[in-house]
Chains A and B, each alone.
Chain A
Amino acid sequence: ELKVEQNPLFLSMQEGKNYTIYCNYSTTSDRLYWYRQDPGKSLESLFVLLSNGAVKQEGRLMASLDTKARLSTLHITAAVHDLSATYFCASGGGADGLTFGKGTHLIIQP
């Protein structure tokens, strides 16, 4: 059975700090996706990682993929309040759809 495990599930941090969210997956698919969800809203695609060593950055967020370790990370640099949201990683895609982690609820406090 395909599993995607995120940690931490809850993270409260101060503005200006750095932190990393981890995503372990057990699947034959090495496609890894990161999504953001704001309360009451839909899922917004952040990153698509398709190969070992892939690194993508957008603003204060950087995602990476290590297919050998079956690990992806989402690194937050100098957090700001606007980044408060729930972040999901997901693996798979294709005809079988995505398998999601449980999500990381991120609160960034002034």
Chain B
Amino acid sequence: DTAVSQTPKYLVTQMGNDKSIKCEQNLGHDTMYWYKQDSKKFLKIMFSYNNKELIINETVPNRFSPKSPDKAHLNLHINSLELGDSAVYFCASSYKGRSYEQYFGPGTRLTVT
């Protein structure tokens, strides 16, 4: 059983296109996140989403928008893709509580050409 799943695993697209990455968790968690890992392996939080409350990292361009159809899903939509968007994007989830331990999806490697 996959706890946090993402699709697609790889995504190659051209500049200017719009793309989406899907994330689903079956852990019953109430908070979901998107992280970006760049070519130097630096990991940075992009968004968190809890009970319809969206917290956005202020450094994230507004071309990125998370969409949550329900508690188990948090999709990432990216408009007008740029070369600098190339990275690995990880979805994660946690349960609101003392530990907030986060479980990560397998990642989506996005390459913009």
Contact = CB atoms under 8 A, between A and B. Distances in A.
B101 A95 contact: no
Contact of B99 (A31, A97, A102): A31
Given A48-B99, A86-B41, A93 B94 contact: yes
Given A42-B107, A86-B41, A103-B41, A98 B102 contact: yes
Given A95-B31, A96-B48, A42 B90 contact: yes
Nearest to A103: B41
B48 A50 contact: no
Interface residues of B, number: 28
A14 interface: no
Interface in A31-66: 31, 33, 35, 37, 41-45, 48, 50
Interface string B76-113: 00000000000000100010101111111111000000
B34 to A, nearest CB: 9
B90 A96 contact: no
Contacts, number: 67
Q: How large is the interface on A (under 10, 10 to 19, 20 to 34, 35 or more residues)?
A: 20 to 34
A43 B90 contact: yes
Contact of A48 (B45, B101, B105): B101
B43 interface: yes
Contacts of A96: 45, 48, 55
A99 interface: yes
Contact of A97 (B33, B98, B101, B107): B33
Interface of B: 31, 33, 35, 40-45, 47-48, 50, 53, 55, 57, 90, 94, 96, 98-107
Given A42-B90, A93-B101, A97-B35, 15 more contacts: A33-B101, A33-B102, A37-B41, A43-B104, A45-B101, A93-B102, A94-B31, A94-B100, A95-B31, A95-B50, A96-B55, A98-B33, A100-B44, A103-B41, A105-B41
Interface of A: 31, 33, 35, 37, 41-45, 48, 50, 86, 88, 90, 93-100, 102-103, 105
